[in-house]
Amino acid sequence: MKFAIFLGCNIPVRLKQYEMASRAVLKELGVSLADIPEFNCCGYPLRNIDLKAFVLSSARNLALAEKKNLNLLALCKCGYGTFRMAEHLMKENAELRDEVNRILGKEGLRYEGDTQVKHLLSVLFNDVGTKAIRASITRPYENLKIATHYGCHALRPSSIVQFDDPVAPSLFDQLVEATGAESIEWPLKLECCGAPLLGTNDELSWDFTEKKLVDAKRAGAQYLTTGCPFCQVQFDTVQETIKFERGANHHLPAILYPQLLGLCMGIDKETLGLDKNQIDITGIDDFLSM
Amino acid sequence: MLFEITLYASLAIFAAGLIYKISNWFRYEIGPDAQGISTSSRISAAARGMISTLFSAKIKTLLRVFLMDVLLQRWLMKRDFLRWLAHICIYSGFMLLLLMHGLDKLITAVLFDEYYSTLNPFMFLRDFFGLVVIIGIGFALYRRLISKAPRPRSTGIDYYAIIILSVIMISGIALEGTKIVSYSRYQEMVEEYSGLGEEETEELRALEAYWVDQFGVVSPNIKGSFENKTLAQGKELHEMSCAGCHSKPQWGFMGYGLATAIRPIALPLDRANVHHLLWYLHFMACFFGLAYLPFSKFFHIFSTPAYLLVDALVEEGRSDPANLITKQAMQVDACTHCGDCTIRCSVAVALDEIPNPNILPSEKLVACKDLLVGKKLSPKRLTRIQEGSHICTDCHRCTDVCPIGINLEYLWSNLDRMLSELGYPKPEAWAREAIGADFDLSNFKEKPLSLTPVDKEFAGALVSSAQASSFSVCFGCQNCTNVCPVVGNYENPKEVLGLLPHEIMHCLALKQKGLAIGSNMLWDCLTCYICQEHCPQGVRVTDVLYELKNLALKHLKEKAA
């Protein structure tokens, strides 16, 4: 099993631990990764500005993976959703696809649509499987209550992204339960973290983050887990900002799923970059069984 | 006379330009830390820093960086051997030409008693160094024009550099070639050095025959094969009067090659005095290059080594803060426009759809510099810079890849700050205000909407994706608005958001552009897709909102243009 790993713009600079933990976990589970240094922006930030520029940007990455004959593994939910949307638009609109291919052709690339785009969580769930994951765990968690944050752009629009059931998804919960932790039910589970509005309307963005933190906490969560750099930064770095700006301390630490999984597989904290999170999560190993 | 005047004039401009450019390093203010530290205190901090470095162990670092990074350009060799070779060819060939040939009276003649530019090894070396430069220029042109590899963006400043170098080199070779064949030049030399009088016709004829036969001179009097006796006499005279300061022109292999090629037209060229014209062209091009150097790409000959040295010595937390600020200011000038940042840029791909060069880091830096020196930029240019600047995803790749270590990321964050201060913040934040002013929704409140004429073009503009036209099946159930978390966040959402999602869909059906793109809802949309997921009619509400944002920004862009 081999994928071209797509890191995007954020992870290498602002969330190195996501990359570190993902690589470590995937290696343990026998998934090999190829790096394509020519990858560019996934197109997500361009969507507000220019649809064609977004599709072109997305398609170039897909064409690069296609050239290497590899499927793409995205760590970011927004990146994943963007790729799926670009694929959809090019399927629906032949003219757009031709135009994109004309531009890509200038550097000898072509988008045919042969590359499959997958998110880290769907690779873990569908390609590796919870059975293999359970088998790789050495010290499962005990008495740990986790709130799963699905992330909008992986779930919706469901007909296009096809990640999981958009109304009652269970993929992420099953992955969490495989670690021995309990995935709690919480009303705002499927709502947005607020990240897309950060920078244009901070107050509104923080409102959503706070609502989710309060809701998950009320439902009994000890940690919140994510599979997207935008959501993670929102629940980690921005939670700290909210504490500072609004004096509201919800203290619900967020952990990236590969960090959560890696720890119970016996991978050490440094490799998983646990110390790189803004809110201290190193205490989570108290929940590991003996 | 003209030579001296232009020489001194260009030297004066060069010196003034250099002082002006270097003074900028102490005047540019980048970042909030730079406020409040005066130019004079920055200059004195730099002087103190330089003196203390010279008398400390840091001198070793300085020498190491000078040798490895400035002279040998190790950083470039590690990155791309071919490019390093091209650069080292141009730089070392040109420097050696400048020292040995350009400044021969000051340097070569002082070092070597026997120096004549027409004597070996100098004659050969001049052509050899010239060839080295030409090989380098060849590589540079190949890379910019022909190579299919990821290419940097070449602009006027790059072509100027290549053109001025080419003019200097080509005029030099042409000058040498036309002088070799020139009969008038030959006669001048005979008069000056041979000591033969006009009456010594036989000797003069023999010497001329020898030079025509051996030295490539084209004579209007004699040609063809000569008797051995005449040549032997000519050789004797040559060795007596000429050989002491004139080697065979074949050693100047490029000039001689050209001389061979132009033999058939050598006489008319000589009559037209072409070698004199070429001499003017050659030195004028050199002096122009010199005078313009501080303002051209070649300023990096000074700024890049200076930055490399300062960067190796000035560290955050350990050095005088004034020197840190100066170092940051130097960065802007240290750029050689090599284009590595642009090749690595994560959003450069968008350029094909959004033709705005300010997207590219190598070009954005030019905008940065213009803003720093306090140039008054037109609103149109500012809008373009704003667009380019905010498409950047802050992925840090340009900074990681810059061969001389310019902290571009730091410059970008300051560019954003400067743009915001000038009233050009992030486009999405800016659009909310600017669009609001154009399409004030309160204007629509009290009066009934006119359904004719409708903006037909507007409806057409939305079908760039087939999905956006899906609004036509909306039957007004308001599900989208009811499930929207943004709407749900406010007591009175209409007051804050203007039109709500279902109302925007109605506006589209009615083709009311002003209403549709004037709503704050667009800019406060989370893009969480809950509305779209819940639409019983399959209207792609979120996607439509995305496209409306595109249209709104396009409207503003067209207005600025």
Instruction: Name A164's Cβ contacts closer than 8 Å, sequence gap at least 6.
Output: A150, A154, A155, A170, A171, A172
Q: How far apart are CA B25 and CA B302, in angstroms?
A: 12
Give, in order, the Cα–Cα distances in Å from B194 to each of A99, B187, B197: 75, 10, 9
Contact state of A52 with B396 under an 8 Å Cβ cutoff: no
Domain boundaries, chain B: 180-279, 441-560
Task: Measure in Å the smallest separation between the Cα of B332 and chain A Cα atoms.
Answer: 23
Alpha-carbon dihedral of residues A19, A20, A22, A23, nearest 10 degrees?
Answer: 110
Residues A63 and A148 in one domain: no
Contacts of A107 in chain B (CB under 8 A): 148, 150
Tokens of B171: 């005029």
Give, in order, the Cα–Cα distances in Å from A5 to each of A36, B303, B390: 8, 39, 26
Tokens of B456: 């037909």
Q: How far apart are CA A38 and CA A88, in angstroms?
A: 23
B533 at interface of A, judged by CB pairs closer than 8 A:
yes
Q: Where is the domain boundary, A60, A88, A119?
A: A119
**Strand partners for A119:** A74
Q: Where is the domain boundary, A119, A149, A173?
A: A119
Asked if the structure places residue A130 within a domain, the reply is no
Residue A243's closest CA among A274, A279, A216?
Answer: A279
- Coil, helix or strand for A3? strand
Phi, psi of A62 (to 5 degrees): -65, -40
The structure's pTM equals 0.87
Q: Where is the domain boundary, A66, A84, A119?
A: A119
Q: Which residue has the tokens 């819940």?
A: B534
Longest dimension (CA), chain A: 60
Residue A86's closest CA among A160, A158, A36, A155?
Answer: A160
Q: Which residue has the tokens 């490399």?
A: B308
> Per 3-state DSSP, what percentage of chain A is helix, strand, and coil (rounded to 5)?
55, 10, 35
Q: How far apart are CA B94 and CA B77, in angstroms?
A: 19
- B447 falls in which pLDDT band (50, 70, 90)? low
pLDDT in tens, B17-37: 999 999 999 988 887 777 878
Contact state of A201 with B529 under an 8 Å Cβ cutoff: no
Q: How far apart are CA B414 and CA B448, in angstroms?
A: 47
pLDDT in tens, A199-233: 889 999 999 999 999 999 999 999 999 999 999 99
**CATH fold of B441-560:** Fumarate Reductase Iron-sulfur Protein; Chain B, domain 2 (1.10.1060)
Domain that holds residue A14: 2-119
B288 and B171 Cβ atoms separated by less than 8 Å: no
Give, in order, the Cα–Cα distances in Å from B507 to each of B175, B494, B502, B518: 74, 15, 9, 11
Contacts of A196 in chain B (CB under 8 A): 526-528
Distance from the Cα of residue A285 to its chain's centroid: 22
The amino acid present at B421, given as its one-letter code, is E
Give the model's pLDDT for residue B240: 86
Task: Measure in Å the smallest separation between the Cα of B66 and chain A Cα atoms.
Answer: 31
Contact state of B393 with A156 under an 8 Å Cβ cutoff: no
Phi, psi of A273 (to 5 degrees): 65, 30
Contact state of B348 with A191 under an 8 Å Cβ cutoff: no
B51 at interface of A, judged by CB pairs closer than 8 A:
no
Residue B69's closest CA among B368, B438, B371, B403?
Answer: B403
Task: Measure in Å the smallest separation between the Cα of A289 and chain B Cα atoms.
Answer: 37
Asked if the structure places residue A129 within a domain, the reply is no
Chain A, chain B: beta-carbon pairs less than 8 Å apart: 135
Residues A67 and A142 in one domain: no
Give the mean pLDDT of A266-282. 96
B349 and A60 Cβ atoms separated by less than 8 Å: yes
Give the mean pLDDT of B126-137. 94
Give the model's pLDDT for residue B465: 54
Contacts of B497 in chain A (CB under 8 A): none
Tokens of B476: 């007004």
Residues A147 and A277 in one domain: yes
Contacts of A89 in chain B (CB under 8 A): 465, 467
Residues A99 and A62 in one domain: yes
A196 at interface of B, judged by CB pairs closer than 8 A:
yes
Residue B22's closest CA among B294, B347, B283, B313?
Answer: B294
B557 and B354 Cβ atoms separated by less than 8 Å: no
Q: How far apart are CA B237 and CA B231, in angstroms?
A: 10
pLDDT in tens, B180-237: 999 999 999 988 888 888 888 888 888 988 999 889 899 888 877 788 888 899 898 9
Give the mean pLDDT of B449-463. 64
Residues A29 and A88 in one domain: yes
B428 at interface of A, judged by CB pairs closer than 8 A:
yes
A127 and A148 Cβ atoms separated by less than 8 Å: no
Q: Which residue has the tokens 């099993």?
A: A1
Residues A97 and A165 in one domain: no
pLDDT at B438 over 80: no
pLDDT at B167 over 70: yes
pLDDT at B491 over 60: yes
**Strand partners for A2:** A32
Q: Could you write out the DSSP letters of every residue in B212-274?
A: HHHS----SS--S---HHHHHHHHHHHHHHTTTT---GGGSHHHHHHHHHHGGGHHHHHHTTH
Give the model's pLDDT for residue A174: 98
- B464 falls in which pLDDT band (50, 70, 90)? low
Q: Region of B36 please: left (phi>0), alpha (psi -120 to 50) or beta.
A: left
Percentage of chain B lying above the pLDDT 90 cut: 46
Give the mean pLDDT of B126-136. 94
Residue B126's closest CA among B300, B282, B291, B297?
Answer: B282
Alpha-helical segments (H) within B314-378: 321-334, 340-344, 361-372
A96 and A75 Cβ atoms separated by less than 8 Å: no
Q: Which residue of B has its CA nearest to A156?
A: B529
Residue B12 class from Cβ within 10 Å (0-12 exposed, 13-18 middle, 19+ buried)? exposed
Half-sphere exposure of B465 (CA within 13 A, CB side): 30
B178 and B269 Cβ atoms separated by less than 8 Å: yes
Q: Mutating which of B470, B527, B530, B537 best tests the A interface, going by the most A Cβ atoms within 10 A? A: B527
pLDDT in tens, A114-132: 999 999 999 999 999 999 9
Residues A98 and A176 in one domain: no
Domain count, chain A: 2
Residues A77 and A151 in one domain: no
A214 at interface of B, judged by CB pairs closer than 8 A:
no
The sign of the CA dihedral B516, B522, B525, B527 is positive
- Coil, helix or strand for A226? strand
Contacts of A197 in chain B (CB under 8 A): 524, 526
Instruction: Name A207's Cβ contacts closer than 8 Å, sequence gap at least 6.
Output: A194, B489
Q: Which residue has the tokens 């030959």?
A: B186
Residue A106 belongs to domain with CATH number: 1.20.1050.140
Which value does ipTM take for this structure? Answer: 0.96
Phi, psi of A250 (to 5 degrees): -90, -20
Q: Which residue has the tokens 């006027």?
A: B156
Residues A215 and A112 in one domain: no
Contacts of B534 in chain A (CB under 8 A): none
Residues A44 and A167 in one domain: no
Contact state of B526 with A152 under an 8 Å Cβ cutoff: yes
Tokens of B117: 């530019």
The sign of the CA dihedral B551, B555, B393, A259 is negative
B464 at interface of A, judged by CB pairs closer than 8 A:
yes
Q: How far apart are CA A152 and CA B527, in angstroms?
A: 8
Residues A32 and A109 in one domain: yes
B429 at interface of A, judged by CB pairs closer than 8 A:
yes
- A58 falls in which pLDDT band (50, 70, 90)? very high
